[in-house]
A and B are shown apart, each in its own frame.
Chain A
C-alpha cells in the first residue's frame, strides 16, 4: 500500500456498471515523509475519506476486487484506510 492525500473527486454518470454508486477520489501520492511525489491516481473510496485527509491506498487488482467483493471489477486502486498519524 502507499500513502496518499485526498486532493479532490470526480463524478461520473456514464461508466462501467460495477462503478455504480462508487465514490471516486483523486489522490496525490505521497512519499514516506508525507510530501507529494507529483503523481496522482483516482481510487475507489471504501472508508469515507474526505478532502485533505491522508489515506492508505492499495494499488493491486486482486486485492481491490476482494475488498470490493466484485469479481472481474475493472478497478486496481482502492482507499483502504485513513491515517491518524505517522510516528517519527
Chain B
C-alpha cells in the first residue's frame, strides 16, 4: 500500500456493472513524507468516506479490486483506508 491525497472527484455518467455507488476520486500519490510523487490517477473509494484533501492509503491491481464487493470489477486503484496519523521515526530520515 502507498500514501495518496484526494485532490478531486470523478462523477461518471455510466459505470460498469458492480460499480454503482462507488465513489471515484482523483488521488495524488505521495512519498513517505506526504509530498506529491508521481502522477495522479482515478481511484475507487471502498471506504466511501474519503473527503477532499484527505490523506489515504491505496492499493493497486488485484488488491484494488478486492476492496470492493463484488470484486470482479474493472478497478486497478482503490483506497483501502484513510490515514489518521503518519508517524515517521526521526532517525530513519523521517520528520513526521
Q: Taking beta carbons and an 8 Å cutoff, which residues of A are in contact with B?
A: 5-16, 19, 24, 26, 28, 36, 40-43, 51-52, 61, 72-77
Whether A40 lies near B67 (C-beta < 8 A) is: no
Given the known interface contacts A7-B88, A15-B82, the answer about A28 and B2 at a Cβ–Cβ threshold of 8 Å is no
16 additional A-B residue pairs with CB within 8 Å, beyond A8-B96, A11-B85, A42-B1:
A10-B57, A10-B85, A12-B57, A13-B84, A16-B46, A26-B94, A42-B3, A42-B57, A43-B1, A51-B92, A73-B66, A74-B59, A74-B67, A75-B1, A76-B59, A76-B63
User: Taking chain A's interface residues, is the majority helix, strand, or loop, or is none over half, making it mixed?
Assistant: strand
Q: Chain B: residues with CB nearer than 8 A to chain A?
A: 1-3, 31-32, 46-47, 49, 57, 59, 61-64, 66-67, 71, 78, 80-89, 91-94, 96
B91 A52 Cβ-Cβ under 8 A:
yes
CA distance A3 to B66 in the complex (A): 26
- In the complex, the answer to whether B89 meets A6 with C-beta atoms within 8 Å is yes
Q: When the two chains form their complex, are residues A19 and B80 in contact, meaning their CB atoms are under 8 A apart? A: yes
Q: Which residue of B lies closest to A50 (CB)?
A: B89
